[in-house]
Amino acid sequence: MTVTEREGLLGCRRVVVKVGSSSISGEHAWRIDAIVAAIAAAHGRDTEVVLVSSGAIATALPLLKLEGRPDDLATQQASAAVGQNVLMWRYQTSLDRFGILAGQVLLTAGDLENATPRSNARRAMERLLGLRILPIVNENDTVATHEIRFGDNDRLAALVAQLVGADALVLLSDIEALYTRPPDEPGATPIDRVEPGDDLHGFQFGSVVVNSVGTGGAATKVSAARLAAAAGVGVLVTSADRVDEALRGEKIGTWFAPNPHPVASALTGPIAVDR
């Protein structure tokens, strides 16, 4: 079922939800419970949910007594190995309240670039969903290198939405919608809707690096949303604090309408990696 409007998120067949590091790490770790509660409510409406969650490296920082996100690849990989374990434990502990089991899926760019691992990933997630298990997807930072990374999990989420044939994608951010310029600047206005082919070049979506614990921001969300929408997947960009409203199809955030004539999926050939 193609979701063409926000309202279709209520009771849709399958949705991918992506949450970033800054929303669930450090002093914001409490938000995991709210996100899980919203997913459980959607689960109760028979909507299949795939969660793409950043946060492995950010979760490990205080445990490893690191002041900020490490610059060197080896420490990033080590941090991811520690943080992913704790992150999954936090999710499962929260999911226990609802009797829902999580399944961890770690991917690299190569997994989706090559037909055999891509097929394996799709089959595994389809089986998890069939068993009423919540797949929690993250980039496999422990083995990824600078040359083969997705670049950010917004893009990973767009590709996962295509991989599993999702009806819609919800990209959770720190702000309630995308704006025509950084929201703290004069003249910034929220963008309600983006149609396929809309020219967004006059808007200022800001830097890719937004904080010390992760990568992302408005620019990457726009890029990922347009990637998914071009392939026929409707995308809602909104605040992590409004995830329940988002999954209930309420009129919030910025909606990227799906292309009624989807272009060839990015998963049919090599995946271009941002360098």
- Supply the pLDDT for residue 149: 59
Does residue 270 form part of some domain?
no
173 is annotated as contributing to ligand binding: yes
Q: How many CB atoms lie within 10 A of CB 71?
A: 7
In a domain, residue 1? The reply is no
Least confident of 62-66, 160-164, 205-209: 205-209
Contacts with 220 (C-beta within 8 Å, 6 or more apart), sequence order: 151, 152, 154, 155, 208
Distances (CA, A) of 106 to 56, 155, 166, 182, 246: 11, 15, 18, 32, 25
Residue 32 lies in a domain: yes
Residue 259 among known ligand-binding residues? no
Q: Evaluate whether residue 141 is within a structural domain.
A: yes
Look at residue 129 and tell me if it is in a domain. yes
Give the start-end residues of each E strand in the chain.
Answer: 14-19, 48-53, 102-107, 134-139, 168-173, 193-194, 234-239, 254-256
Write the pLDDT tens digit of every residue in 78-129.
Answer: 999 999 999 999 999 999 999 999 999 999 878 888 899 999 999 999 999 9
Q: Average pLDDT of 14-27?
A: 94
Decide: 36 and 94 in contact? Cβ < 8 Å. Answer: yes
Instruction: Give the burial string for 193-203 (b: 16+ CB within 10 Å, else e).
Output: ebebeeeeeeb
CATH number (domain holding residue 131):
3.40.1160.10
| Per-residue tokens: 6 | 């926000």
Q: Which domain does 33 fall in, by range?
A: 6-265
Query: Is residue 207 annotated as involved in ligand binding?
Result: no
In degrees and rounded to multiples of 5, residue 170 shows phi and psi of: -115, 115
Closest CA to 177 of 230, 235, 232: 235
274 lies in a domain? no
Domain-located, residue 247: yes
Q: Within a domain: residue 56?
A: yes
Residue 40, token pair as written in the block: 């459980």
pTM exceeds 0.75, yes or no: yes
Q: Write out pLDDT tens, residues 224-233.
A: 999 999 999 9
Q: Which residues pair with 134 in a beta bridge?
A: 102
Query: Domains in the chain: how many in total?
Result: 1
The residue ranking higher by pLDDT, 194 or 146, is 194
Would the annotation count 138 as a binding residue? Answer: no
Contact 85, 92 (CB under 8 A): no
Q: Is 54 annotated as belonging to a binding site?
A: yes
| Span 39-47, average pLDDT | 97
pLDDT of residue 146 exceeding 70: no
Inter-residue contact 134 to 100 (CB < 8 Å):
yes
In this structure, what token pair is assigned to residue 9? 């998120």
How much is the mean pLDDT over the chain? 88
Strand-strand pairing, 234-239 and 254-256? antiparallel
